[in-house]
Amino acid sequence: MNLKFGLIGKKLSHSFSQRYFTEKFKQLNLNHYSYELWELEDIKNIRSFIDQQGNVRGFNVTIPYKKEIISHLDSITDEVKQIGACNCVLIENNQWIGYNTDWWGFYEMIKDELEPHHTSAMILGTGGAANAVAYAFQQFKMPYVFVSRNKFHSQCITYDDLNKMHFEKYPIIVNTTPLGMYPDIASMPAIPIHYLSNKNFVIDLIYNPEKTLLLQESEKQKAKILNGLKMLYLQAEKSWYIWQKI
Protein backbone atom coordinates (compact mmCIF):
# COMPACT_ATOMS: atom_id res chain seq x y z
CA MET A 1 0.00 0.00 0.00
CA ASN A 2 1.31 3.45 -0.91
CA LEU A 3 1.41 5.79 2.08
CA LYS A 4 1.24 9.54 1.63
CA PHE A 5 2.52 12.48 3.63
CA GLY A 6 2.48 16.11 2.63
CA LEU A 7 2.48 19.81 3.37
CA ILE A 8 -0.49 22.18 3.33
CA GLY A 9 -0.06 25.91 2.91
CA LYS A 10 -0.69 28.73 0.45
CA LYS A 11 2.62 29.14 -1.41
CA LEU A 12 4.78 26.06 -1.47
CA SER A 13 6.86 26.28 -4.64
CA HIS A 14 10.13 26.64 -2.68
CA SER A 15 9.27 23.93 -0.15
CA PHE A 16 12.16 22.42 1.78
CA SER A 17 9.95 19.64 3.13
CA GLN A 18 9.23 17.81 -0.12
CA ARG A 19 12.91 17.59 -1.07
CA TYR A 20 13.85 16.56 2.45
CA PHE A 21 11.32 13.76 2.86
CA THR A 22 11.64 12.48 -0.71
CA GLU A 23 15.37 12.05 -0.09
CA LYS A 24 14.73 10.45 3.31
CA PHE A 25 12.28 7.91 1.86
CA LYS A 26 14.83 7.06 -0.84
CA GLN A 27 17.60 6.54 1.73
CA LEU A 28 15.34 4.32 3.87
CA ASN A 29 14.17 2.31 0.84
CA LEU A 30 10.57 3.32 1.53
CA ASN A 31 9.56 3.20 -2.12
CA HIS A 32 5.85 3.11 -1.26
CA TYR A 33 6.03 6.41 0.68
CA SER A 34 5.56 9.80 -0.96
CA TYR A 35 5.51 13.43 0.22
CA GLU A 36 3.29 15.85 -1.67
CA LEU A 37 2.63 19.59 -1.73
CA TRP A 38 -0.96 20.74 -1.31
CA GLU A 39 -1.38 24.45 -2.04
CA LEU A 40 -4.80 25.49 -0.78
CA GLU A 41 -6.62 28.82 -0.96
CA ASP A 42 -8.45 27.90 2.26
CA ILE A 43 -8.81 24.85 4.51
CA LYS A 44 -12.57 24.89 5.10
CA ASN A 45 -12.89 21.41 3.58
CA ILE A 46 -9.51 20.05 4.63
CA ARG A 47 -10.87 16.76 5.99
CA SER A 48 -12.57 15.79 2.73
CA PHE A 49 -9.59 17.05 0.71
CA ILE A 50 -7.15 14.82 2.62
CA ASP A 51 -9.57 11.86 2.40
CA GLN A 52 -9.62 12.27 -1.39
CA GLN A 53 -5.82 11.97 -1.57
CA GLY A 54 -6.01 8.41 -0.24
CA ASN A 55 -3.80 6.77 2.41
CA VAL A 56 -2.50 10.00 3.96
CA ARG A 57 -0.87 9.15 7.30
CA GLY A 58 0.34 12.59 8.29
CA PHE A 59 1.08 16.07 7.04
CA ASN A 60 2.86 19.27 7.92
CA VAL A 61 1.17 22.66 8.11
CA THR A 62 2.76 25.97 7.17
CA ILE A 63 1.75 29.62 6.75
CA PRO A 64 -1.02 30.69 6.98
CA TYR A 65 -2.83 27.66 8.44
CA LYS A 66 -0.93 26.75 11.63
CA LYS A 67 -3.63 28.26 13.85
CA GLU A 68 -6.62 27.59 11.64
CA ILE A 69 -5.92 23.85 11.39
CA ILE A 70 -6.54 23.38 15.13
CA SER A 71 -10.34 23.58 14.76
CA HIS A 72 -10.21 20.65 12.29
CA LEU A 73 -8.33 18.30 14.64
CA ASP A 74 -9.70 15.60 16.96
CA SER A 75 -7.05 16.16 19.63
CA ILE A 76 -3.98 18.31 20.26
CA THR A 77 -0.92 18.07 22.49
CA ASP A 78 -0.33 20.39 25.45
CA GLU A 79 2.34 22.17 23.39
CA VAL A 80 -0.21 23.02 20.69
CA LYS A 81 -2.63 24.25 23.38
CA GLN A 82 -0.04 26.57 24.89
CA ILE A 83 1.54 27.76 21.64
CA GLY A 84 -1.75 28.11 19.78
CA ALA A 85 -0.26 26.71 16.57
CA CYS A 86 0.09 23.26 14.98
CA ASN A 87 2.57 22.37 12.23
CA CYS A 88 2.36 18.57 12.25
CA VAL A 89 -0.66 16.25 12.07
CA LEU A 90 -0.70 12.49 12.63
CA ILE A 91 -3.67 10.55 11.21
CA GLU A 92 -4.26 7.41 13.25
CA ASN A 93 -7.46 5.34 13.05
CA ASN A 94 -9.10 8.29 11.27
CA GLN A 95 -8.25 10.51 14.26
CA TRP A 96 -6.32 13.71 13.50
CA ILE A 97 -3.81 14.52 16.25
CA GLY A 98 -2.05 17.89 16.22
CA TYR A 99 1.56 18.48 17.29
CA ASN A 100 3.96 21.39 17.29
CA THR A 101 7.53 20.47 16.31
CA ASP A 102 8.69 24.07 15.71
CA TRP A 103 9.37 24.73 19.39
CA TRP A 104 11.41 21.53 19.70
CA GLY A 105 13.45 22.39 16.59
CA PHE A 106 14.27 25.82 18.04
CA TYR A 107 15.06 24.41 21.49
CA GLU A 108 17.43 21.77 20.11
CA MET A 109 19.06 24.26 17.73
CA ILE A 110 20.10 26.74 20.40
CA LYS A 111 20.67 24.60 23.51
CA ASP A 112 24.37 24.07 22.81
CA GLU A 113 24.86 27.60 21.48
CA LEU A 114 23.86 29.43 24.66
CA GLU A 115 26.60 31.08 26.69
CA PRO A 116 26.41 31.78 30.45
CA HIS A 117 25.38 35.41 29.92
CA HIS A 118 22.56 34.47 27.51
CA THR A 119 19.90 34.53 30.21
CA SER A 120 16.88 36.30 28.65
CA ALA A 121 15.45 37.08 25.24
CA MET A 122 13.64 39.54 23.00
CA ILE A 123 11.33 37.87 20.47
CA LEU A 124 10.64 39.99 17.38
CA GLY A 125 7.10 39.25 16.21
CA THR A 126 3.93 37.86 17.80
CA GLY A 127 2.75 35.12 15.41
CA GLY A 128 2.77 31.34 15.66
CA ALA A 129 6.55 31.09 15.28
CA ALA A 130 7.03 33.67 18.05
CA ASN A 131 4.81 31.63 20.37
CA ALA A 132 6.79 28.46 19.57
CA VAL A 133 10.05 30.27 20.39
CA ALA A 134 8.52 31.59 23.62
CA TYR A 135 7.48 28.05 24.60
CA ALA A 136 11.07 26.88 24.05
CA PHE A 137 12.38 29.67 26.29
CA GLN A 138 9.86 28.58 28.94
CA GLN A 139 11.50 25.13 28.88
CA PHE A 140 14.83 26.85 29.54
CA LYS A 141 13.07 28.76 32.37
CA MET A 142 14.31 31.90 30.67
CA PRO A 143 12.48 35.26 30.80
CA TYR A 144 11.53 36.88 27.49
CA VAL A 145 9.61 39.79 26.02
CA PHE A 146 7.84 40.15 22.67
CA VAL A 147 8.60 43.12 20.40
CA SER A 148 5.98 44.31 17.93
CA ARG A 149 4.73 47.43 16.17
CA ASN A 150 1.84 47.58 18.62
CA LYS A 151 1.66 46.66 22.29
CA PHE A 152 -0.60 43.60 22.32
CA HIS A 153 -0.27 42.61 25.98
CA SER A 154 1.79 43.18 29.12
CA GLN A 155 4.62 40.94 27.88
CA CYS A 156 5.04 43.02 24.74
CA ILE A 157 6.97 46.21 23.97
CA THR A 158 7.09 48.17 20.72
CA TYR A 159 10.03 48.75 18.39
CA ASP A 160 9.81 52.44 19.32
CA ASP A 161 10.36 51.53 22.99
CA LEU A 162 13.71 49.85 22.37
CA ASN A 163 16.78 51.42 23.91
CA LYS A 164 20.26 50.34 25.02
CA MET A 165 18.93 48.90 28.27
CA HIS A 166 16.80 46.33 26.44
CA PHE A 167 19.81 44.95 24.55
CA GLU A 168 21.69 44.57 27.83
CA LYS A 169 18.75 43.11 29.74
CA TYR A 170 17.73 40.73 26.90
CA PRO A 171 20.99 39.62 25.24
CA ILE A 172 19.26 37.08 22.95
CA ILE A 173 17.30 38.57 20.02
CA VAL A 174 15.18 36.24 17.87
CA ASN A 175 13.57 37.36 14.62
CA THR A 176 10.38 35.39 13.94
CA THR A 177 9.04 37.84 11.33
CA PRO A 178 9.42 37.32 7.55
CA LEU A 179 11.35 40.61 7.20
CA GLY A 180 14.50 39.94 5.19
CA MET A 181 13.32 36.69 3.61
CA TYR A 182 14.03 36.13 -0.08
CA PRO A 183 13.15 37.93 -2.32
CA ASP A 184 12.76 40.88 0.09
CA ILE A 185 16.39 40.67 1.19
CA ALA A 186 16.87 44.43 1.66
CA SER A 187 14.51 44.63 4.66
CA MET A 188 14.99 43.87 8.34
CA PRO A 189 13.15 44.43 11.64
CA ALA A 190 13.32 48.03 12.84
CA ILE A 191 15.63 47.54 15.81
CA PRO A 192 18.36 50.08 16.75
CA ILE A 193 21.20 47.86 15.60
CA HIS A 194 23.92 50.14 17.02
CA TYR A 195 23.03 48.99 20.54
CA LEU A 196 24.18 45.44 19.78
CA SER A 197 27.51 44.21 21.14
CA ASN A 198 29.52 41.01 21.47
CA LYS A 199 27.28 40.10 24.42
CA ASN A 200 24.27 39.68 22.13
CA PHE A 201 23.16 36.53 20.33
CA VAL A 202 21.00 37.30 17.27
CA ILE A 203 18.98 34.41 15.84
CA ASP A 204 17.00 34.81 12.61
CA LEU A 205 14.56 31.99 11.85
CA ILE A 206 14.90 32.85 8.14
CA TYR A 207 17.31 30.58 6.25
CA ASN A 208 16.94 32.04 2.74
CA PRO A 209 19.12 34.03 2.37
CA GLU A 210 21.60 32.20 4.58
CA LYS A 211 22.67 35.51 6.10
CA THR A 212 19.85 38.06 6.24
CA LEU A 213 20.48 41.79 6.42
CA LEU A 214 19.72 41.56 10.17
CA LEU A 215 22.44 38.94 10.64
CA GLN A 216 24.91 40.86 8.46
CA GLU A 217 24.40 44.06 10.45
CA SER A 218 24.50 42.18 13.77
CA GLU A 219 27.79 40.55 12.80
CA LYS A 220 29.26 43.99 12.15
CA GLN A 221 28.42 44.84 15.78
CA LYS A 222 30.34 41.69 16.87
CA ALA A 223 27.17 39.88 17.98
CA LYS A 224 26.96 36.09 17.75
CA ILE A 225 24.60 35.09 14.89
CA LEU A 226 22.61 32.03 13.81
CA ASN A 227 20.05 31.37 11.07
CA GLY A 228 17.07 28.98 11.18
CA LEU A 229 18.27 26.23 8.83
CA LYS A 230 19.12 23.71 11.55
CA MET A 231 15.72 24.31 13.18
CA LEU A 232 14.08 23.40 9.88
CA TYR A 233 15.88 20.04 9.75
CA LEU A 234 15.19 19.33 13.42
CA GLN A 235 11.46 20.05 13.25
CA ALA A 236 11.21 17.86 10.12
CA GLU A 237 12.98 15.01 11.94
CA LYS A 238 10.56 15.38 14.85
CA SER A 239 7.62 15.14 12.41
CA TRP A 240 9.06 11.93 11.02
CA TYR A 241 9.45 10.53 14.55
CA ILE A 242 5.78 11.31 15.23
CA TRP A 243 4.57 9.77 11.97
CA GLN A 244 6.44 6.56 12.65
CA LYS A 245 3.90 5.87 15.39
CA ILE A 246 1.84 4.37 12.57
Q: Residue type at 7? A: L
Strands (E), 140-227: 144-148, 156-158, 172-175, 201-204, 224-227
Of the residues 4, 44, 66, 164, only one is catalytic, namely 66
Cα–Cα dist 26/61, whole Å: 23
Examine the residue annotation and report whether 199 is marked as an active-site residue of this protein. Answer: no
What stretches of the chain show up as alpha helix (H) in DSSP? 16-27, 46-53, 78-83, 102-110, 128-139, 164-169, 213-220, 229-243
Show Cβ contacts of residue 75 under 8 Å, excluding neighbours closer than 6 positions. 95, 96, 97, 98
Cα–Cα dist 178/98, whole Å: 24
Residues annotated as catalytic (active site), given as ranges: 66
